[in-house]
Structure 1
């Protein structure tokens, strides 16, 4: 017996099937969205330090409210000392 035949025989299961399908689709979509973010490391060999490529003007959160970015002077000094 197929899924559609079962749903046609027991129509009370249709809302449940729709809700479960939407939840699975939403979870899958969010997982793919999260993997495309810059703070997720999938391949450490090709890009061992992905945080160096993050643009501070682009919000990294799903929702960002009043975000201001200011460079920390101590970190800038350490970065200059280690790269130079």
Structure 2
């Protein structure tokens, strides 16, 4: 129903087509980014098997989206081993 109304508006006003495309691209990109965040190693979906998954991460694990100046291979682990 909403899609049909958008198509009718696009036929009547062709200048709206880029706006519809940018809205769809923005919503798609936001959805993919949320999915990426939900699949991260620091997110717990099942607390019975692994309640603290961040303890199993290696100190060289790059969890940032982009790390420009940090050399993760030369880092030493500061905390205790669990």
Equivalent position of 2:15 in the other structure: 12
Q: CA RMSD in A?
A: 1.9
1:70 and 2:76 correspond: yes
Asked if the contact 2:59/2:77 (under 8 Å) is kept, the reply is no
TM-score (norm 2): 0.76
Instruction: Map 1:1-84; keep pairs closer than 5 Å.
Output: 2=4, 3-67=6-70, 68=72, 69-72=75-78, 75-76=79-80, 79=81
Could you tell me which runs of 5 or more consecutive residues in structure 2 were left unpaired when the two chains were aligned. none
> Which consecutive segments of 4 or more residues in structure 1 shift more than 3 A?
none
- Taking the aligned partners of 1:14 and 1:32, their CA distance within structure 2 comes to 27
Could you tell me which runs of 5 or more consecutive residues in structure 1 were left unpaired when the two chains were aligned. none
Deviation at 1:11, TM superposition (A): 0.9
Deviation at 1:25, TM superposition (A): 0.4
Deviation at 1:6, TM superposition (A): 2.0
Bigger Cα Rg: 1
| Number of equivalent positions | 76
